[in-house]
Amino acid sequence: MVTIRPELDVVTESLVELHGRLAALTDGTLADYIPQLALADPHAFALSLVSMHGDRYQAGEAGLPFTVQSVSKPFVYALALAELGLEEVSRWVGTEPSGEAYNAISLEPGTGRPDNAMINAGAIVTTALVSGGTCEQRFERILDCLSRFAGRRLDVDEAVYASEAQTGNRNRALAYLMSSTGALPATPSDAVDTYFRQCAVRVTTRDLAVMAATLANGGVNPVTGETVVPRHVAVQVLAVMASCGMYDASGAWLLRVGLPAKSGVGGGLIAVSPARFGIAVHSPLLDASGTPVRGVAVMRELSERFGLHLMHHPMRSAPTVTHADAGEWTGLVAAQGALDFTAAERLLRELSGVVPGTGGCVVLDLLDVTSIDAAGALMVSSALTRLEEQGHRAVLAVGPRAAADARLSAWQSFTSRQEALEWCENLRPAE
């Protein structure tokens, strides 16, 4: 790993600046309904960011442990989704924002199914869905999953667990209520006990940033390289975090910050910038919805500063089509960069202008194309199939990257534009 020179480390500089300035924000209160959480240091404040290369940036005491609480919910949801699939999990837990507090009785009338997996009711069901013969085995699977997301073996803060187990009657009530309508796939006491243990897992701000970065990286932990959950599961979890992660403040959060996120009453907050980074904030002073006040402030500023909002339109680095030539027998289009929907749409339009008369050839020079996504491959291969059906020959010039792309292997390919053009010229009927 290359160590960044301090004068080039603008990421740390931003985090340190935000940390220094926002430490003055002392609004909010410690969670005290779990008595042990009221003993937290109200001044504790740390930020950590982990990139897609597994590089870490931080400000404040990012190695200080605290309990994960509700920030565990998206990761256990990911485990249930990976084990059972979205269809089965959705039979038990919905995917709609509740618009209510995290501990509300947000259950579907009739079925008793909780609105989503980010609120307590939904998280208790999700926990109960995780496979395991006994309570201990189920919790072991959960701890193992959280640990793989974090990239190190995590443990439980027994004092916080005992404190919540003693006082957690509201969660017990939710579990019994769901059980009464057949909406809980375990006994209420087992489900709640495992859920309390899961909430009491000890993490650091750095751990949470790695966990968030694993979701940002399509389920692959960028520090350890391990695939923790499949890519489609990471996408599903991020979607539910975006719509439901901040409880009754989810709409305002999506509007102002624009990133999937999750907070917990232990003071942890994660946000995910897909394909960019995972970030975590720790500050135990909470607002009325149970979210760290400084966490919200940090993320609002950071999102604005770096233009991270999901609805922000993506940057296009270079024009897709670099050359187009309409020959009498052979038409040529050369493209560069990433071939996604927008690039392929451009390319096919340019190609339209150079298609020769029936029987003639088209050459697509993709040598400077750096990557092709599902949309790009689908659009190019469908268009070329159509051209061949109409009696044209389609030929590619591709580099090693595109050549390895199975979706484009059906076409005659050459490793240089010249060879592709010569091959076409040889097909030209003698005058």
- Provide the binding-site residues for ligand GLN, judged by CB under 6 A: 69-70, 102-103, 120, 164, 171, 199, 264-265, 290
Closest distance between ligand GLN and the C-beta of residue 416, in Å? Answer: 59
Nearer to ligand GLN, 70 or 250 (CB): 70
Residue among 70 and 217 whose Cβ is closer to ligand GLN: 70
- By C-beta, is 120 or 194 nearer to ligand GLN? 120
* CB of 222 vs ligand GLN, minimal distance in Å: 25
Report the amino acid identity of residue 244: C
Q: Whole-number minimum distance, CB 401 to ligand GLN, in Å?
A: 44
- Amino acid identity, residue 62? A
By beta-carbon proximity to ligand GLN, the closer residue of 57 and 161 is: 161
Distance CA 173, CA 124 (A): 11
SS3 177: helix
Q: HSE on the CB side for 263, CA within 13 Å?
A: 29
What HEC string does 44-102 produce? CCEEEEEECCCCEEEEECCCCCEECHHHHHHHHHHHHHHHHHHHHHHHHCCCCCCCCCC
Which residue's CB comes closest to ligand GLN?
70
- Angle formed at CA 292 by CA 260 and CA 278, multiple of 5 degrees: 35
Cα(372)–Cα(281) distance, integer angstroms: 35
Smallest gap, in angstroms, from Cβ of residue 156 to ligand GLN?
13
C-beta of 398: minimal distance to ligand GLN in Å? 51
| In contact, 340 and 373? CB cutoff 8 Å | yes
Q: How far is the CB of 290 from ligand GLN (least distance, A)?
A: 4
Task: For ligand GLN, give the closer residue by CB, 118 or 145.
Answer: 118
Shortest spacing between CB 15 and ligand GLN, in angstroms = 24
Please say which residue, 197 or 417, places its beta carbon nearer to ligand GLN. 197
CA 165 – CA 127 distance, rounded (Å): 16
Q: Do residues 381 and 349 touch, judged by C-beta distance below 8 A?
A: no
Nearest to 333 by CA among 342, 371, 344: 344
264/331 with CB nearer ligand GLN = 264
